[in-house]
Structure 1
Amino acid sequence: MPLPHSYLEDIAARLEPGMREAFLKAVRALRAQADPARIAALLENGDVDGVLDAIGLNDPAWLNSFRAAMAEGFVAGGQETHAGVRGLIIDAISQDILPPGSDARLLASFGIRNLPAEKALRDYGMGLIREIDDNTRDGVRTFLEDGMEAGRNPVQSALDLCGRIGESGEREGGILGLTETQARSVQRARDELASTDAPTLRRYLGRELRDRRYDAAVLRAIRSGEPIPEAIQEKAGTAYSNRYLRYRAEVMSRTESLRSASVGQHAALLNAVATGALPYGSIRRFWMDTDDERTRVWHKEIPDLNPDGVSLEEPFVTPLGPLLYPRDPEGEAENIIQCRCWMQIRLTGSGNRWLDMLAFPVPG
């Protein structure tokens, strides 16, 4: 019986909240161990590398909980695909597309103890953790260097980096955990809130992630020409930073929960071929776009660019470069982030006979 075409999305929906919380928990742990006084002293000496070391960003172990959540997605995608391949093989045997006994060659279950799967997880995991770690470290470095260049007080910079103790007893509002672009956006928002220039304040009101509870204070400042009270500036800036961190966690978990399952899917297909359960060259993969308003325009073109499908290890042709499968970790960010496309996996046999592993969605 074919698997539902959305099975990877179903896995991702199940794992996404845990992956999001794993990243936020990791950032909270970094902030909790940070010592603003020590960071300020290091900044007095211009020692940005010392700050990175002091807050634990020179050791990627801070992302271990996120790495574990990512591995869970990989295994889940592999296991579901393995079950789908087994069903596909059994159906193919019954229709004389594959010889009897083909199912016996398939591994009893999918896991990371076999070398191909272990390598796939290691390569994907190392690349992802390095990317997240580098982006986070770049965010801190750029923020601190910009602050030193602008003559910002080291104590202020340290608190803006780590956050201030909030009502929850945890540090809130720091840029720690954000990318370079996001950290700069937070600092610009704080600068806008500190301004008395009406056009500058209006720019703040155009920020999608702002906390609208403080809009009235901004509008009063625009009308009066008086500065926003510092306490409100701080609350609005903290809220904006918190929302940006959550936004990063949401985008990352939405992308990586589905991508980790996709990497596991591909590893399971490679395993089936490696064991001889599926003949090499018998698999054709077809790109299927989600065909809604959220789908990238150029992703709707990919099926027509690959009308005959591609083999198991052949990349799809896309307008932004080759992709081995949707959300391929080797692809360009703008081609894969939050992509929801899927693949039809087809087993081909002699005499133009074939079977699909996934059920097509019923048109609504």
Structure 2
Amino acid sequence: MLASAIDDIDANHIRDQLGIILGLDDAGFPDDLAAPFGDGLAVLITLAGAIAALAASQARHTLNPNSASLRDANAAAAAFLTAFRGGTGDAVRAAIESAIYGEGTPASRAAQLRRAIGLSVKQATSLEIMREALLAYTAAPRTRIPARTDATGKRIAATYIRNVDTRAILAGTRGHLSAAQSRMLAKALANPNLTAADADAILDGHAAALRRHRIQATLAEGIHGLAEQAKLTGWTIAQRFGALPADQRRYWHTAGDERVRHAHSQVPAMNPVGVALGDPFQTPFGPRMSPPLEWGCRCSVRLARPA
């Protein structure tokens, strides 16, 4: 169905048809994912409430799970999924444009569009660059080198080579692919027997890996931020009800191992006496209410009275 819709000369008509086939909403997000996302939001809001309640219990305060004060934590959960949803929609829209104007047959472009669903814009772009490189390689004619005997008398079997400059193809991808992607592509381009079906299998497998990585990394990042926001919410509510002393401070802690980035290790030193519950931490990236500081951050915030 996707290939049939792409095989048209009217770009606007193609966009409309693809939107209908994929069931995209106004933001470019597939409608059939709306229900799972709604379920996910409910789970995250429940998680936020549980973490806020646990934080409040540190001050011997029992948090009402229906409290309007949990609005910030609930909003953080919604914002996290909204950002993920928006990034997914942006990637689908970009992939539709590549499907309309990209290289290859309608079937090849349709397959690439299907692969892009669930990826980020950056991931979808890198996958398209890999596809273009593989297309250029598999479209090149093969030349058969007959069997021969070398100078030592060793028999060398007949082989094939591609009449294409693989170094030029790889050079065109430089700066757009990760080191792992470049190695994967270089390995594929070293195979003179690579077929279009082989290239599709490589792209399918890599798209699945990219999708898993994005979901795992985004969930880890989002839940980390949500947990820290919920902790702060629980502490703030407890203090409002007088269960937490007014002089209670928050202290930034790193994971404390060799993987801690320099910028993250600077935050405790920049806030030696901690900060009040309602104040942000000073960081090399500007004021932040709580971790994560950037992607992959493992920092956390703990509660303590000043020494």
TM normalised by structure 1 equals 0.65
How far apart are the structure 2 equivalents of 1:135 and 1:303? Answer: 32
Paired with 1:237 and 1:317, the residues of 2 have a C-alpha distance of 43
The answer to whether residue 275 in structure 2 is matched with residue 297 in structure 1 is no
Match of 1:263 in 2: 229
Output the CA distance in 2 between the equivalents of 1:206 and 1:71.
35
Distance 1:64 1:209 in 2: 34
Deviation at 1:36, TM superposition (A): 2.8
**Greater Rg by CA:** 2
1:176 Cα shift? 0.3
Distance 2:43 2:259 in 1: 26
Relative to structure 1, the CA distance from residue 176 to residue 288 in structure 2 (aligned partners, 3 Å threshold; closer, same or farther) is same
Aligned to 1:198: 166
**Alignment-derived partner of residue 347 in structure 1:** 305
Residue 337 of structure 1: aligned partner: 295
Name the amino acid aligned to 2:305.
L
Identify unmatched segments of 5+ residues in structure 2. Answer: 26-30, 138-164
How far apart, in 1, do the equivalents of 2:251 and 2:56 lie?
18
Residue identity opposite 1:133 in structure 2: R
Aligned to 1:218: 189
Q: Which amino acid aligns with 2:15?
A: V
With over 3 angstroms needed to count, the CA separation of the structure-2 counterparts of 1:344 and 1:40, relative to structure 1, is: same
8 Å CA contact 2:92–2:116 kept in 1: the answer is: yes
Report the identity percentage. 23
Q: Return 199-208 or 236-245, whichever deviates more.
A: 199-208
2:124 corresponds to which of 183, 196, 201 = 183
Whole-angstrom distance in 1 between the partners of 2:3 and 2:97: 18
Q: How many residues align?
A: 268
| 1:150–1:216 distance in 2 versus 1, CA, 3 Å | closer
Partner of 1:229: 195
- Preserved CA contact (<8 Å) 2:249 2:275: yes
Superposition pairs for residues 91-170 of structure 1, below 5 Å?
Answer: 106-107=61-62, 109=63, 111=65, 113-117=66-70, 119-150=71-102, 153-162=105-114
Separation in 1, partners of 2:282, 2:5: 48
Q: Distance in 2 between matches of 1:181 and 1:207?
A: 15
Identify the residue that residue 61 of structure 1 maps to in structure 2. 34
The 3 A distance-change label for structure 1 pair 231 and 207 is farther
Q: Please list the CA deviations of residues 183-236 of structure 1 after superposition, one character each: whole Å capped at 9, or x if unmatched.
A: 011111122223333223586997425896x97653233xxxxx6211111111
Contact 2:249 2:274 in 1 (8 A): yes
Contact kept in structure 1, 2:102 and 2:109, CA below 8 Å: no
CA contact (8 A) 1:286 1:309 kept: yes
Of structures 1 and 2, the one scoring higher in RCO (CA 8 A, sep 6+) is 1
TM-score computed with the length of structure 2 as normaliser: 0.76
Q: Post-superposition shift, 1:289? A: 1.3
Question: Deviation at 1:263?
Answer: 1.8
Displacement of 1:339 in angstroms is 1.1
Report Cα offsets for 1:135-167 as digits up to 9, x if no partner. Answer: 1111111122133333554443333222xxxxx
Q: How far apart are the structure 1 equivalents of 2:179 and 2:91?
A: 19
Q: Secondary structure at the match of 1:345?
A: strand
Q: Which moved more, 1:124-133 or 1:230-239?
A: 124-133
- Relative to structure 1, the CA distance from residue 184 to residue 43 in structure 2 (aligned partners, 3 Å threshold; closer, same or farther) is farther
Q: Which amino acid aligns with 1:340?
A: R
**Matching of residue 317 in structure 1 with residue 282 in structure 2:** yes
**Is 1:282 matched up with 2:247?**
yes
Which residues of structure 1 form unaligned runs of 5+?
Answer: 1-34, 87-105, 163-173, 222-226, 328-334, 349-353, 355-364
AA aligned to 2:67 is N
Cα distance, 1:344–1:56 mapped onto 2, change above 3 Å: same
Q: Deviations over 1:297-344 (max 9, x none)?
A: 1011111111121100100011111110112xxxxxxx3322111122
Equivalent-residue separation in structure 1 for 2:80 and 2:24 (angstroms): 15
What is the DSSP-based 3-state SS (H/G/I as helix, E as strand, rest coil) of the residue aligned with 2:304? strand
Q: Which amino acid aligns with 2:81?
A: I
* 2:239 match: 273
Which of 15, 22, 28 matches 1:48? 15
